[in-house]
Each structure stands twice: as C-alpha cells, then as structure tokens.
Structure 1
C-alpha cells in the first residue's frame, strides 16, 4: 500500500517551490469572477506552484452522469491530483447511444459462483470494456481551489468541472458536483491518500458490514432521471446478508429455486485485486436481477438470464489507511430487452 505522508508532502513541497506555473485559463478564471485571487488561494504563493491537494488528498474515485436523452452518459473514473496543480484521469465512459444489445454489451468477467458453496454455478458479467485487464481511457488537466472553496478542474479540450468538498469522516474527503460546462447532472466522489495500486478482497468487503449511506440517480430510456436515497431505498448493500461463494465472489444469500413470477433477487459482486494489473486494483463487478424480470427475459433461470441483469461498475472507496469504506459506482446496462438502456450513478458507503 502506498500512501502520501506528511513527510512526503513536505519533500514534494521542497521540490516544487521556486519553479513557475500558469494558473487556470482566462476563460475559467472569468467564470469565477475573481480568478487571480482564486489561483493564489490554491497555491503556496504568487511565485510558487505548490498547489493544495483537494481536501489534502491525492486519489479520488468519481462517478458522473449527464447528457440528454437519447444520449445520456455515465463516466466512472479515478482522479490523481499532484502538488504541482495537475490532475490525471483514468476512466470508462458509456452512453445510451452505444451500439449493441444485451448480449454484446454484457461480457464475462471470468468470475463465477460455486454450486458447492452457493447452490449453483453462474457467471458474473460486466459491461464491455470494464472486464479485467481492459485499459483505461485517460485525460489530463489542471486544478485549483476558488475563493468559494470549490475544486475547479480544467481538462484538456476545454472541459471544466467544479466540485463541493466536504469531510463527513476524518479519513476521506467527499466530492459532490457543483457545476460543469459539458452537461454533468449528477456526480459523486471520495478521496484519500491510498493509491490505485491498492484494493481489498471480497471477503474484506463482506466483513465490512452494511453500506447504509446510499444515494443514487438512475435513468432508463425515459428522459427524466429518478433520485433514490436511504432510508427510502430498500436495495442498499446489506452485506451482512451475503455469503462467500468462492474467494473472488460474494452473493446475496436468498432461496434460489423459486418459480416465476416471484421477485427473487439475485445479486453477485466479484473481484480480485491480486489478479488485476496496476491501477485497476479498486475494481469490482456487480450484476443483479429481480426474478420477475428474469421471467420476462425468457423464463426462470437459476442464474441471471442470459440477456438480462443490471450491470454496476464499482470502484472501492478506501480511506487513508487503505480500509474499505464502500463503493462509487456507475450502471451501464445497455441493451434492448426488458428495461431498456439503463444508466445510473451511485455512492454506497458505511455510515
């Protein structure tokens, strides 16, 4: 596990003081109405380039949702900030306009439940492009903290985001989207000083306890988004109700052989940080389906029906000590079957 310590921050400060850097572009400064003052508030001084890390933390997992029907989109990302005032992004991006159907857009992860320990053997799928070993798309930019305390990011290509920073817990920083110039409607993020070469096992996830602090926005083929938050949400991750199928898969522990049209809830979460390449250790793969939907998708299956299932892409929220605290997620269920092309963004953390 790699962490940024006070000593390493001090060393970085010594390396960067004395060099030159330009602040945000004039366009972005104009949007804040007092750009020069804002730039100074984010740096060590008028002549320095030591930027304040957002919330004092360098590594953030982020989910975003925006756009308009029929091309709404979601983006799941890892942001890395530096004390030089730069930020890089590793991300996956999905849109309602993506080609393909329930078969071509849902791909095998290589993880499976076990009949010996979880009643049946079933594959766990994910959205195409998010399966283990698939490279991230990347983006780079600069950031600063404006006079209102907002985190402002200017990405290459002219895209800008502004985030509200908060500290609901001492061991991580939370982000909530404030504004953007490219149609972001909903956005969440959590940051710490544990890097992206660190992840936890499904056994650790299951042992964490219920993730009760839940908030998400979802959309299918209709134009309007629907908001759900706990305690009105009844599908939050009750990890105490899961069972360990194999070392890489946990499953909601419910009766399996229930005939249609009973709404049995099949839910799998898979992942193995030891098998993921560097920079992918935080990834987990969630697939779930209500039994009643499975019936509509072609009849009762002991597993999630071949053309069905909701696909949630997860990135682990880890605190400064690498302790698992929950998930940032994005749904990209892209097909033409029951429910249509469903997108969502999630945050699920332990209270």
Structure 2
C-alpha cells in the first residue's frame, strides 16, 4: 500500500510539473527589473511644458523594493499641489559657514509619516509593469547605463503620473554616503515642474509648467564643506533667476546640501537679496526646498540623487515638480 501511494504521488507531482500548476505556498520566480532589487524613484504628475496645470498635480519621492516572487513594496513621501507645505527646519545647520537653519518641504522632516504601497510586478524584456493593491498601474522602461546600476523611466500610468525616473542597485538599503564623502563633481539631470508666475505690478498671476536639463555642480569653486553634514555655496544668479530682487539686479543665490544620516538629503536654495533681518544672512521665506534620495550602485558608490521640489506654502502657488541628477 505504501509503495502504491508513493507511485501515485510521483504521478501527481509529474502532472503538476507538466501543466505548470503550483503546490500551495509555492511562488514563481520573477526577474528583478534590470537585475536590481532596490530603486530610488521620483514620480509625479506634471502638466505638459507651457500648458496650464489643473491644480491637481502631485509629486512623490519613493524607495521601491522588488522581490523575486513578483511582489513589490513602496515606501514614499507625497506632495499635492492642492495643499500647501510650509518649510520645516531640519536638525542639521550650516554651522561652519553662515550658521543658518536649513529647511525642507513639510512632510519630509525626521518623524514625518512615510506612506507605503504594496503590489505586484511583471517583466517582459526591458518593460516592467507595477500593479499596486487597488488596481492602479505604472509602466516603466528599464535600462542599464553602466554595470552595477539600472535605470527605470516611466512610460505611463493609470492614475495621472506622467513623469518618473528611478535608479536601482543591490546595495543594502541601510547604506548611505555621508555628506563629507559625496564626490565633488557635476551631476547632470532633468527637471519637470508646475509653477506659479507672479508678474510685477498689479497683473494677475498665472499657472504654468516647464521642463529642461539641469545639474547640481559640486565641482564649482564656491562650495564649502561647512561641517560633516552640510555643504554650502554662494554663486551669482543667472539672468532669469532672482527676478524678485527689489533692485532689479541678478543678485546671488545661496545653496545648502545637507544630511541627517541615511539616504535622505536636504537641498535648499534662495536669492540672498530677499533676506531680511539686519545683519543676519539667514532666510526664512519661500526658499526652494528639494527633498532628495541618494542613488547608490552595487559597489556602494554614490551616483547622485532623485528628488522633488515642493516650494509652495499655499495651495497651487510656488513650484511643485520632480527632478533627478546623476553622474551616469
């Protein structure tokens, strides 16, 4: 009887193997996108360049964790243009430079809620489709710009997201590069954002949008290592920057790049002509606040950032968008 049962069980196993059926508790292996497990991602809804935003646009900064069984988890921070986000000071200051507080967009400070999503993903060639619980989908194209790192670019979604870029590796999620070890080089990338244009005089403001190439150039003279957690730079403003300066001159721009540890970095800049308060060089107004996540390759090498900008203390004012800057 025992031998008969074993023969029957072997027949069942063979039938399952031939038909592709799975035993309870068994999961199919699914290729990791680009062979990489963890991605730092910026994603959002941005009105096409030169068009009028609806006011419902959003930005999201996230870490995507792909598992080899076809499941994916996302930990993320979210900003809606329908809501204002006043700046929040972080713990790190620019002590060693101008000794000012550094600000980030509300919702990215230490202790702020990190939201999460769970879902499933499928791969086909260089395409990845993510279906989050609830049914919304994202479609990405995968590329491998260099060994040890992969990139994903958003090609579409079912819920309004139309711009997205991420970079992934198999480096530990706990690995982060201290600010005083970030290579001082140029990190080139791109931005796409919605913004509010406020002309001078009594002319009403209007909503608009734009996109283009940009860079964070830490190789420029003028950057100073304030302390182990902060860099700062002071540079002449370009002809289209600092247009709000009261004397009509281009003025200068103060930059901060800071960290409190981990992959979260805090990028902030403002026109120094707007600083008020006598002898203090510190600014507490509507600075450009750009939460960022570090991009790190398989070897643990720092490669740049993905980020968002949430410079809108009031709903549908200021600037809201996504950007990425890497040395690839």
Same fold by TM (over 0.5)?
yes
Alpha-carbon RMSD across the aligned residues, in angstroms, is 2.7
The equivalent position to 1:187 in structure 2, one of 164, 181, 187, is 164
User: What is the Cα deviation at residue 185 of structure 1?
Assistant: 1.8
Unaligned runs of 5+ in 1: 1-16, 22-46, 274-280
- In structure 2, the CA distance between the partners of 1:173 and 1:311, relative to structure 1 (3 Å rule), is same
Which residue number corresponds to residue 225 of structure 1? Answer: 209
Unaligned runs of 5+ in 2: 1-20, 47-52, 197-205, 237-244
Deviations 1:91-118 (A, max 9, x none): 0000111146xxxx1111011112xx32
Which residue number corresponds to residue 141 of structure 2? Answer: 164
Matches within 5 A, 1:86-235: 86-99=71-84, 105-114=86-95, 117-118=96-97, 120-146=98-124, 149-205=126-182, 208-221=183-196, 223-229=207-213, 233=214
The equivalent position to 1:342 in structure 2, one of 288, 309, 319, is 319
SS at 2:82 equivalent: coil
**CA–CA distance in 2 between the matches of 1:272 and 1:93?**
20
**CA–CA distance in 2 between the matches of 1:302 and 1:265?**
15
**CA–CA distance in 2 between the matches of 1:325 and 1:335?**
31
User: What is the Cα deviation at residue 72 of structure 1?
Assistant: 1.1
Instruction: Report if the CA contact (8 A) 1:330-1:346 is conserved.
Output: yes
**CA–CA distance in 1 between the matches of 2:216 and 2:58?**
23
User: What is the Cα deviation at residue 180 of structure 1?
Assistant: 0.5
Deviations 1:136-169 (A, max 9, x none): 10110000113x5311000011110000100111
**CA–CA distance in 2 between the matches of 1:74 and 1:151?**
21
TM-score (structure 1 length as normaliser): 0.74
**CA–CA distance in 1 between the matches of 2:58 and 2:298?**
30
Instruction: Report if the CA contact (8 A) 1:266-1:290 is conserved.
Output: yes
| Structure that is richer in helix per residue | 1
The equivalent position to 2:224 in structure 1, one of 243, 248, 257, is 243
Matches within 5 A, 1:44-123: 49-66=28-45, 68-99=53-84, 105-114=86-95, 117-118=96-97, 120-123=98-101
Deviations 1:246-274 (A, max 9, x none): 1111111559xx9964421100011032x
**CA–CA distance in 2 between the matches of 1:19 and 1:75?**
38
| Structure that is richer in strand per residue | 2
Q: Does 1:317 align with 2:305?
A: no
**CA–CA distance in 2 between the matches of 1:170 and 1:301?**
51
Q: Does 1:270 align with 2:254?
A: no
